[in-house]
């Protein structure tokens, strides 16, 4: 083993202790007090490993943490989140455990192991000056309060390393689809369904027309999905529905498709006479296109070889992360550098213990390499529009 891999392997007991502490503090995104308590634990562990206390940034009650290390300008951003999808009480049902080389517990894979790896990787750097570690507390909600913070930090850095969990088999995430979220509201006219239905304008029927129109917008050849999801209409069974609505989830590989679908959504028009259609929402996260990660992935391949690690594999995935935001402001971004395992958001969530020191070594080597030789910015711009205006991806 190389010295860095040896160092991270020796640190494995401390890595597991830190992960136990983080998993042991439940942090469902919607529970502001729980997220604040979790931030206390993250801050304590990060301070112990990095030797510096973080800035505590509370926005609309949501708690985020930022470490800016050394006196040099920020050049490398390590990005993660400490909130999870698991409600309070999940830990009692699925307690933290390490058994047979596998860690289990709510939030261990997505993505508390990634945070622990970040702290230990930065602690292993000979000089971490120029590294920023940003840990947000609302990513699982779509980053409604932290998006601007992520974009601001990324704009000042030459590279963003995202500690989200790996793809299947430990693959790095070299592309992510962009996300748009819409609500289609239909305004009709209520009437008695038995006495005088002809006086009504049936919102359910208009919704059916609109759902079919939206269902015609995907382009599978370009990887574009446009999916009508939750739908509600009417109030009682004997009333012509006077209003209704449905949600639409859009996933795209490139900015051009995101713009095409956005134009088509806002061009929807009512079919029934006297019905009215209202469209709200729009792009939430720009796509992380492959060109944004190509340079960093190539470096990761070279560094893995130097460390004696298997050659990394890169894949594009449909889910979004805060890496979409960093790529959207033109910062080279590599995602999926966190834990190897599986079961994100599911009862079988787990982390492979043996991979923790290897991934930590790769992360440390990549950060050190980028500090010494920062890459050029990609020049990409955020197709999703201004920050802090759109909410809602839960992927």
User: Mind telling me the catalytic residues?
Assistant: 83, 139
Structure tokens at 128: 């971490």
């Amino acid at each position: 083993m190389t010295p860095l891999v040896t160092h991270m392997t020796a640190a494995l007991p401390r890595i597991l202790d830190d992960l136990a502490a983080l998993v042991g503090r439940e942090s469902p995104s919607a529970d502001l007090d729980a997220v604040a308590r979790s931030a206390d634990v993250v801050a304590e562990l990060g301070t112990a490993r990095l030797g510096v206390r973080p800035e505590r940034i509370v926005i609309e009650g949501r708690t985020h943490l930022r470490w800016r290390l050394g006196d040099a300008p920020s050049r490398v951003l390590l990005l993660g989140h400490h909130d999870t999808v698991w409600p309070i009480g999940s830990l009692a049902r699925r307690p933290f455990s390490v058994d047979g080389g596998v860690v289990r517990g709510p939030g261990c894979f997505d993505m508390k192991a990634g945070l622990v790896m970040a702290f230990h990787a930065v602690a292993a750097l000979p000089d971490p000056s120029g590294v920023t570690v940003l840990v947000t507390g609302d990513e699982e909600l779509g980053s409604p309060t932290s998006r601007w913070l992520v974009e601001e930090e990324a704009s000042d850095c030459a590279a963003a390393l995202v500690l989200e969990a790996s793809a299947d088999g430990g693959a790095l995430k070299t592309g992510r689809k962009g996300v748009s979220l819409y609500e289609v509201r239909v305004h009709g006219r209520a009437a008695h369904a038995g006495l005088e239905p002809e006086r009504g304008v049936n919102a359910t029927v208009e919704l059916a027309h609109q759902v079919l129109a939206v269902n015609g917008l995907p382009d599978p050849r370009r990887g574009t999905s446009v999916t009508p999801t939750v739908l509600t209409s009417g109030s009682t069974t004997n009333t012509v529905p006077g209003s209704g609505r449905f949600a639409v989830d859009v996933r795209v590989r490139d900015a051009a498709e995101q713009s095409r679908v956005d134009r088509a959504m806002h061009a929807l028009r009512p079919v029934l006479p006297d019905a009215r259609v209202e469209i709200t929402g729009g792009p939430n996260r720009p796509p992380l296109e492959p060109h944004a990660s190509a340079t960093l992935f190539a470096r990761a391949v070279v560094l893995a070889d130097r460390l004696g690690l298997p050659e990394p594999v890169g894949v594009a995935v449909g889910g979004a992360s805060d890496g979409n935001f960093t790529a959207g402001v033109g910062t080279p971004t590599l995602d999926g550098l966190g834990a190897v395992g599986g079961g994100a958001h599911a009862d079988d969530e787990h982390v492979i213990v043996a991979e923790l020191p290897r991934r930590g070594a790769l992360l440390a080597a990549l950060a050190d390499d980028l500090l010494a030789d920062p890459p050029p910015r990609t020049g990409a711009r955020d197709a999703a529009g201004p920050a802090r205006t759109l909410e809602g991806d839960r992927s």
